[in-house]
Homo-oligomer: A and B are copies of this chain.
Amino acid sequence: MGATGAVGAEFVRLFESRNFPIEELTLLASSRSVGKTLPYKGRPVVIKEATEASVQGHDIVFFSAGATRSRALAPAALESGALVIDNSSAFRMDPEVPLVVPEVNADALTKEKRLISVPNCTAIILMVAVNPLRALGDIDRLIVSTYQSASGGGAAVMDYLVEDTRAVLQESDRPQKDGLPPYAFNLFSHNTAIGDGGYNEEELKVIEESRKILGDPALKVNVTCVRVPVLRAHTETVTVEFKGLAPSEDQVRTILETAPGVQVIDDRARNHFPTPALASGQGDVLVGRIRADISNPHGISLLIAGDQLLKGAALNAVQIAETYRQKFGN
């Protein structure tokens, strides 16, 4: 459900590349996409309208069309007996719903809980890089600034970035997009609503979801979310503050080098570190600039990057389904 979005297309590619055991693939979207097709294993699959009826009768339903659509249709899918894996924010903070990054908290999955939420993309990428460090000591606080790509806003925001950039280079009239600042060669504070405390919704998701995923309601998180003119893959600067003295840079590097879903790219001599270009199309979260925080003996700083559409969304959802089936069967 949500097959025509930027994440939807990644789902179909992943089903194919991971040889996901599909007997019948049904692609659903809103009524205006009905009749379009997406290729799967060399054949076009026609998109049908998402309705309470059409989301029923499947073994697994992946939702990736925003919180409103998930709230409207996920109950029908669940009632029909499907395993429902939801990419939206609709159910993430429901205490009855597991919020899962398989490398981090696969143990939150139980056979009975058939509605599972995929965390916010920025939170997933952060958790994959940070969770392994808990083996070295308790974490007190995370300090994060994000460099989020257009893909987090969906295909329409990616198109807006391309069209606005083209307009600047051609010196033609610049497009406008509801509520977004100019985007070509520009960046802006994440365009979600700001609450009373001054944090935007994206930042609050990172804070609250990180706590839930790590099972640590006292975790402190300082975060600023910024959208940059990058098409795909999110980058984050991260300082991890430990409760005792921080582990050494070498201890951190060693543990990250074998951490699941992590790829260390940290070549100081060549100045070669994670970038969104390197992260795009990769399932791993890239980690580099590993160093002791020069301002705090309890801190370790990192630069991380991950593909928002893959590990930040579709791949994490598919991995949840694979993990659930491996643990509990259908």
Binding site for B on A (CB under 8 A): 141-143, 145, 147, 161-162, 165-166, 169, 179, 181-182, 185-189, 191-194, 197-200, 207, 220-222, 224, 226, 228-231, 235, 237, 239, 249, 268-269, 271, 273, 275-277, 288-296, 299, 301, 303
Known: A198-B268, A221-B294, A294-B207. A230 touches B162 (CB 8 A): no
A185, A193, A296 — which one has the most chain B CB atoms within 10 A of its CB?
A185
**A183 to chain B: closest residue by CB:** B277
**A165 to chain B: closest residue by CB:** B165
Q: A320 to B261: give the CA distance in the assembly, Å.
A: 51
Q: Is the CB of B235 within 8 A of A226?
A: yes
16 A-B residue pairs with Cβ-Cβ distance under 8 Å, sorted by A, are A141-B296, A143-B239, A147-B147, A166-B169, A182-B275, A182-B277, A185-B231, A186-B230, A189-B303, A191-B271, A198-B289, A199-B291, A220-B295, A222-B294, A224-B303, A228-B229
Q: A273 to B199: give the CA distance in the assembly, Å.
A: 13
Known: A143-B239, A145-B237, A147-B228. A294 touches B187 (CB 8 A): no
Q: Which residues of B contact A295 (CB under 8 A)?
A: 141-143, 220-222
Q: A66 to B174: give the CA distance in the assembly, Å.
A: 36
Question: Main secondary structure on chain A at its contact with chain B?
Answer: mixed
- With beta carbons under 8 angstroms apart, the residue of B142, B166, B224 that contacts A301 is B224
Q: Is the CB of A197 within 8 A of B291?
A: yes
Q: A50 to B269: give the CA distance in the assembly, Å.
A: 34
> Which 7 A-B pairs rank lowest in CB-CB distance, beginning with the nearest?
A198-B291, A145-B145, A220-B295, A194-B268, A222-B295, A224-B237, A145-B237
Q: Which residues of B contact A165 (CB under 8 A)?
A: 165, 169
Q: Which residues of B contact A189 (CB under 8 A)?
A: 271, 273, 288-289, 303
Q: Is the CB of A185 within 8 A of B226?
A: no
Q: Is the CB of B276 within 8 A of A198?
A: no
Q: Is the CB of B222 within 8 A of A188?
A: no
Q: Is the CB of B169 within 8 A of A230?
A: no
- With beta carbons under 8 angstroms apart, the residue of B169, B198, B268, B296 that contacts A220 is B296
Known: A145-B145, A186-B275, A235-B187. A222 touches B291 (CB 8 A): no
Q: Is the CB of A198 within 8 A of B249?
A: yes
Q: Which residues of B contact A275 (CB under 8 A)?
A: 181-182, 186-188
Q: A269 to B189: give the CA distance in the assembly, Å.
A: 13
Q: Which residues of B contact A294 (CB under 8 A)?
A: 197, 199, 207, 220-222
